[in-house]
Amino acid sequence: MASARHGVREAPAGLALVQELLNTRATMHYGADLLLLADDAQRWLTEAITTWSRVSGLPAPTLLISSSDLRSLRRLRTTFEHVIAAAGKENLDGALPPADVPVSLVPDADGWVRMVPTGRGTRWLASALWAEALLAQQAGLWPRLKLCHNGDCRAAFFDTSRNNSGVWHDVSTCGNTANLRAFRERKRLMGGSGGQSRPPVGGPPSYR
């Protein structure tokens, strides 16, 4: 699975499907872009929607990915990167494309309404992803799905910190890299004398 490559905690319930899509992007040194080759994409998608089906209790369709679907999948991923960045008040170039995505509302015998993705192929996936985005927004979970602030990383992680202040997918890797960079920059500005300051050890206390 894509998120497992980063060792990040999975977002709760169906929101993990959005996180999975975001984490298909090539990572610093542990993996290729999973949406570049049809075989990789097929393997990833089958596993991702099987997991989604298990947690959502809804049936998963069989989606067969052709090489012409790869572009739609990558476009979908870019769209969600923009949506997540917008939620985090980050500015990325490019506007959100207008999206018109069908879903079915299916009341059960007790009158509880389920939101069921519809459509075929990658349209089904788009329907499932937007449905999960809506559910997560209603549940207040959406602002906790973030992209790592390390520009070389951008792993999608679910922030469990109490005040939702996390910015790194992993403080001990991406957080320390950033601390070290800031330390070197400060040292450079101070004339490189070194002085009393030492490189930071461990993560910054305010981020978890």
Strand partners, 40: none
Both tokens of 36, joined, read 């570049």
Both tokens of 121, joined, read 């192929």
The interface with Zn ion within residues 1-30 (CB under 5 A) comprises: none
CB of 167 to Zn ion, least distance (A): 9
Question: Which is nearer to Zn ion, 79 or 173 (by Cβ)?
Answer: 173
CB of 166 to Zn ion, least distance (A): 11
Verify binding: residue 150, Zn ion, rule CB under 5 A.
yes
CB of 176 to Zn ion, least distance (A): 11
**Number of residues in contact with Zn ion, rule: CB under 5 A?**
6
The interface with Zn ion within residues 151-180 (CB under 5 A) comprises: 153, 155, 169, 174
Helix (H) or strand (E) holding 112: none
The interface with Zn ion within residues 120-139 (CB under 5 A) comprises: none
Helix (H) or strand (E) holding 154: none
Q: Considering only CA atoms, which of 170, 176, 174 is closest in space to residue 158?
A: 170
Are 166 and 108 within 8 A, CB to CB? Answer: no
Question: Which is nearer to Zn ion, 77 or 146 (by Cβ)?
Answer: 146
What are the phi and psi torsion angles at 116 (to 5°)? -115, 125
Q: Which DSSP state fits 171? A: I
- Contact region with Zn ion (CB under 5 A), list: 14-22, 59-67, 119-127, 148-156: 148-156
Verify binding: residue 144, Zn ion, rule CB under 5 A.
no
CB of 169 to Zn ion, least distance (A): 4
Helix (H) or strand (E) holding 55: helix 38-56
Summarize as ranges the residues that interact with Zn ion (CB under 5 A).
148, 150, 153, 155, 169, 174
